[in-house]
A and B are shown apart, each in its own frame.
Chain A
């Protein structure tokens, strides 16, 4: 039960981030820079299934504020 909730939360936040990236036409290079990581790290993290909420919460916040 709790594992399902955890998984769902992770999927939700990841999808929200992806939607914002598409909707705001965000440059991955600029986003990686804002996150303080390299482009390569960014792609690796997006591919990873590790439920790193700190990373996605930070990204979501940056994307919400993205102009």
Chain B
């Protein structure tokens, strides 16, 4: 452990990574900010003399062209007619339309709300990365692309500094006894890893609570086989037949809890021999690796769920805006269950359960994988998509399977279109859904609770 007070190569590498990460975030924030400003310009109205707001578009030419460079020609056309005071010719309208209807510009406008949320989130990350506490820094070290040896190197150096060691000391790892300094460093490293991993263990504890060892054995075998298939580029063969990420998360959480118990047990006693010390180090290294897996899967799940983290409940509506169920035929009890199921669907978004953990409803040969959620003997069938859900129908256990299968078969293209609209968030779709939700809310509320939109 030489030179821990001077920056090692690993530390310098880590700092460079942090700097690069900050720059990437700043670039991302700039892009999002441009996109949001672009949406604002595109939505701005002109005055009577300039009803297409050509002046506004030209004023923001650089901004809009930075979002879509291919529109430069259209701005040249606008500039020419604007300079010659000929704003009422057809070419102006065509150029304005070409700009406003370009897919990049449409995306800016349609996703303006999402963009501003993402921008807030990125700005928070930038702020956090500039004022990191030691424990946050340690978590970053563990999540970084450094090799395991480099991570341990950086963590050790941090642990030493946090203990205010003012001079370099040679660590004694004699053949039989480990120095108390080294044990103290190990305890500090462990405390930092625990601080990082504990929130995730609490978050995902329900995934492994009471999971029998036999299941763990199967998870391990299935994951091993999946990874072998992946090496051969054949993982698609298990697509839809094995939830790899979910199993990997459960397994990592299970291992992390197990390792935490083992390390706690060993650190309770006196770790003195080199053998014991190395054992704890190995456990700690495995715990760090489990933590990394959990963190990276959590990140990818959060991204799937969207930055808002709020689950939206949409309904499958036919071309006349009618659902595939008839609320008026439901009894008061069933209406209460509809209300409760919708609340459950919505609330699942704020809990940590994966919507796909619910039973799959129908055989996977159907075009869409459907799932069910139940409130006593009454069920809702739905399709999860990108963290949100599309509700198909409600019914009791005798008819929900048949009804949902029929809907999936007969309204397959309508489901595809609705999922596309959930993605694009077109104003017409959002309005239709919102209006339907309100109607359903009043139909099932019965003065008890209500539908969560």
Q: In the bound complex, what is the Cα–Cα distance between A31 and B359 (angstroms)?
A: 12
B413 to chain A, nearest CB (A): 24
Q: Which B residues are in CB contact (< 8 Å) with A34?
A: 359
B359 to A35, Cβ gap below 8 A? Answer: yes
* 8 Å CB interface, A31-57 against B: 33-38, 41, 44-45, 50-55, 57
B232 to chain A, nearest CB (A): 7
Q: In the bound complex, what is the Cα–Cα distance between A5 and B404 (angstroms)?
A: 35
Q: Which A residues are in CB contact (< 8 Å) with B221?
A: 9
A50 to B361, Cβ gap below 8 A? Answer: no
Residue A6, interface by CB 8 Å: yes
Q: In the bound complex, what is the Cα–Cα distance between A34 and B372 (angstroms)?
A: 11
Q: How many A-B residue pairs have CB under 8 A?
A: 71
Contacts A33-B397, A60-B215, A64-B214 hold; do A54 and B359 have CB atoms under 8 A apart? no
Q: In the bound complex, what is the Cα–Cα distance between A9 and B218 (angstroms)?
A: 8
Residue B225, interface by CB 8 Å: yes
Residue B183, interface by CB 8 Å: no
Residue B242, interface by CB 8 Å: yes
B363 to A54, Cβ gap below 8 A? Answer: no
Closest Cβ neighbor of B229 among chain A residues: A2
Chain A contact surface mostly: helix
Q: Which B residues are in CB contact (< 8 Å) with A2?
A: 225, 228-229, 232, 234
Residue B161, interface by CB 8 Å: no
A57 to B218, Cβ gap below 8 A? Answer: yes
Residue B243, interface by CB 8 Å: yes
A45 to B363, Cβ gap below 8 A? Answer: yes
A36 to B372, Cβ gap below 8 A? Answer: yes
* Interface size class of chain A, counting residues whose CB lies under 8 Å from the partner chain: 20 to 34
Count B-side interface residues using an 8 Å CB cutoff: 32
Q: Which A residues are in CB contact (< 8 Å) with B232?
A: 2
* 8 Å CB interface, A9-27 against B: 9, 13, 16
Partner of A54 from B212, B360, B362 at Cβ < 8 Å: B360
B401 to A41, Cβ gap below 8 A? Answer: yes
User: Which of A52, A60, A65 has the largest number of chain B CB atoms within 10 A?
Assistant: A52
Q: Which A residues are in CB contact (< 8 Å) with B364?
A: 52
A41 to B241, Cβ gap below 8 A? Answer: no
A58 to B359, Cβ gap below 8 A? Answer: yes
Contacts A5-B228, A36-B360 hold; do A53 and B214 have CB atoms under 8 A apart? no
A37 to B225, Cβ gap below 8 A? Answer: no
A61 to B362, Cβ gap below 8 A? Answer: no
Q: In the bound complex, what is the Cα–Cα distance between A64 and B215 (angstroms)?
A: 9
Q: Which B residues are in CB contact (< 8 Å) with A37?
A: 359-362, 401
B432 to chain A, nearest CB (A): 29
Q: Which A residues are in CB contact (< 8 Å) with B397?
A: 33
Please list the residues of chain A having a beta carbon within 8 angstroms of any beta carbon in chain B.
2, 5-6, 9, 13, 16, 33-38, 41, 44-45, 50-55, 57-58, 60-61, 64-65
15 contacts between A and B (CB under 8 A): A2-B229, A2-B232, A9-B222, A9-B225, A13-B218, A37-B360, A37-B361, A41-B362, A41-B363, A52-B240, A52-B241, A53-B222, A53-B242, A60-B218, A64-B215
